[in-house]
Structure 1
C-alpha cells in the first residue's frame, strides 16, 4: 500500500495535490485510521488475520463510484479537458489523445475489476467513544471500531498492488475547478515534467484519472473522512492478494483477501496485527462485557501484547429501535 507522495518526486504533488494535503493532515492528527464494522466481522478479521476487499459493483458505495465518473465525464466535456490536454501536449505532443484512448480502454475494467477497502480518518478526540454517525451507519446491533496505525498506508511499497487515497467530496463544479488547477500546475512545470519519459507521465496521468473516478463521492458524505485502499488485479497483479467467492450479506461475490502479515523483503511492514492495531472501541451493544472478553482472547491469540490495554467500551448513548 502506498500514498507516500510527500517523500517522492514532485510529480506526485503536482498531479495529486489533494492526496498530498490530506496526507499531511492525517499525519498531523496522529496518522491513524479506523474501520467501523460489526462485532462479527471484526472478530473474523482478527481471528483470520485477514481483511477482504470488495468489488465496487457489490458495495453500498457503487453509486458513489459512478458519481466520480460523472464528475470526470462532465469535466472532459467542457473547458477543463482543453486546459488539461494543452498541458499534456505541451510536455509531449499528442499525449492528451493517447491518455484518453488508454483510459477509455481500461474503463470497463475500472468499473468491473476494482476492489476497495474503506477506512476513516481517526481523530484523538474519538479515542474513547468513537464517532456517532459511523456507529449508526456501520455498527449494526453490536459495533466494533478497529483503530489502525497508519504507517503502512503511507509506506512506499508495490508488493500488494494496492494503493491508498483519500476520498474527495466534490460536486461536478468543484471537481472541474480542481481538475483545472492540476492542469495549470502541470503547465507551470512543463520543463520539469519533460525530465520524465513519455510513458511515465502517461501512467501518472492515467492513475490520476482512475483515482478521480473511484475516490470521489458526493459532498453529503464528507463527515466520513474516508480513505480507500484500491486494487485492480488485472492492472496491477500481486501474488500477495488471493481471491475467492464468499457470501456477504446473502450475496455471493468475489473478494480479494489481504493477509495481515509483513513482508519486509518487499518493503511491506506495519501490516501485522501487533503493529497495525492501535486500539479497539466496543460500540453500543447489549452485552459489552461479553464482547470485551471475546476480543481480549482474539488479541491474545493474535500475539498482540497487553491486549486488555487496547480495548475500550464506548458509552455513547446510541439506541437501536426494535422491529
Structure 2
C-alpha cells in the first residue's frame, strides 16, 4: 500500500522543483508596507499573515481551486478510467468531502505574508513595489535575510516558504488539464479501492491548494514574489492555535494569524532569542520620504524603543519617484 501512496504523491508532485525554493534557496526577502506597520512589526515582534480571500489576490486562489475542482469532477477521462458510475462517485465523493471540509473549516484560517525577492546589491527597491504596496512611495520595506533561519528546527512547523510562479490563465488551465491526465493514469494503474481513492483525493487537493497559493498571473512577474503560508489543515496538532486572531479594518473584521516570534522561538527551538531584528538585513525608506532627516528620525525611533541592532540598518531609496 505504501508503494501506491508513494506513486500517487510522486506523480502529482513531479513538476515541483524544490531546488528553486527555500531552504535550497535562501534569498533576501523584502516586505513592502507602511511606516506604521514596520513600527508595529518591530515593537511587537510579530508578523501578521492575512487571509488571501480578504486580499487583492483572492481571485487567484479561487480561480485555481475552483477550476481544478470543476475539472476533476467533470472530466470524462477520469469518469471513463473509473469504469462505472458507482466507482466514479466513490472518487468524487472522497474529493468533495475534503474540499468541503476545507471550505467550511479551514479556508478562514489559511494565511499568507507576501515578500519580494531582493537583490543584495539593490539599494533602492522596486518601483512597482513602492507604487503597489509601499504606500505609493511613502512606506518602507523590511528586508529579511532567510539564511539566518535555522532550517533544521522548522521541519515540523506548519509554515511553507516558497517562490510564487507566474503563468497566464491559459497556462494555469493547461497545468490543471495535465494533472487530470496524471490522475487518469493513476486510476488506470492502481486498485480502485476506497482507501486508494481517499488518498488520491487528498494528495490531489493538497497539490491543487499549493498550486493556487503559489501561482499568480504573469502580469505580476516583476514583483518576484515569495510567500510565507500557513494552512490550518496542515497543523493537526494545533501548534499555531494561539496565533489565530483578527484585525478590525475599514472593511470590517478580518481573520489574521499573528505570529509572535518570541513564542514561536520557544515552541520550535528556532533560535535562542528569536526576534525580527536578528533576521533584518536592512530597512529601506520609500523614495518620497528618503531625506536624511527621515533616516535620522527613523534611527531615533529605534534608539528610543531599544532596537539598537536596527539603527545602522536604515537605508533610503534614491529612486526619483513620480506618483
The TM-score normalised by the length of structure 1 is: 0.72
Gaps of 5+ in 1: 1-8, 87-93, 192-196
Which secondary structure state, in structure 2, belongs to the residue aligned with residue 129 of structure 1? coil
| 1:251-271 residue CA offsets vs partner (Å, 9 max, x unmatched) | 332322011235266253495
Point out the more displaced range, 147-156 or 167-176. 147-156
> Structure 2 residue aligned with 1:170, among 152, 161, 167?
167
Report whether the alignment pairs 1:256 with 2:252.
Answer: no
Report whether the alignment pairs 1:68 with 2:69.
Answer: no
Aligned to 2:299: 296
Point out the more displaced range, 283-292 or 206-215. 283-292
Change (3 A) 1:41 1:54: same
Aligned to 1:130: 125
Write the distance in 1 (CA, Å) between the matches of 2:150 and 2:68.
26
Aligned to 1:3: none
Write the distance in 2 (CA, Å) between the matches of 1:117 and 1:319.
27
CA apart distance, 1:230:
2.3
Aligned to 2:207: 208
Aligned to 1:157: 155
Point out the more displaced range, 50-59 or 150-159. 150-159
Aligned to 1:266: 268
Aligned to 2:78: 82
CA apart distance, 1:46:
0.9
CA apart distance, 1:26:
6.8
Write the distance in 1 (CA, Å) between the matches of 2:54 and 2:213.
14
Change (3 A) 1:183 1:123: farther
CA apart distance, 1:34:
1.1
CA contact (8 A) 1:32 1:147 kept: yes
CA contact (8 A) 2:111 2:231 kept: yes
Write the distance in 2 (CA, Å) between the matches of 1:267 and 1:82.
45
Report the RMSD for the aligned CA atoms in angstroms: 4.1
CA apart distance, 1:284:
1.1
Aligned to 2:43: 47
Which secondary structure state, in structure 2, belongs to the residue aligned with residue 124 of structure 1? coil
Aligned to 1:310: 313
CA apart distance, 1:162:
3.0
- Higher-Rg structure is 2
> Structure 1 residue aligned with 2:322, among 301, 319, 322?
319
The TM-score normalised by the length of structure 2 is: 0.72
Report whether the alignment pairs 1:145 with 2:141.
Answer: yes
Gaps of 5+ in 2: 1-5, 83-89, 190-194
Write the distance in 2 (CA, Å) between the matches of 1:81 and 1:303.
60
CA apart distance, 1:217:
2.1
Q: Number of aligned pairs? A: 299
Change (3 A) 1:68 1:299: farther
CA apart distance, 1:235:
5.9
Write the distance in 2 (CA, Å) between the matches of 1:154 and 1:13.
23
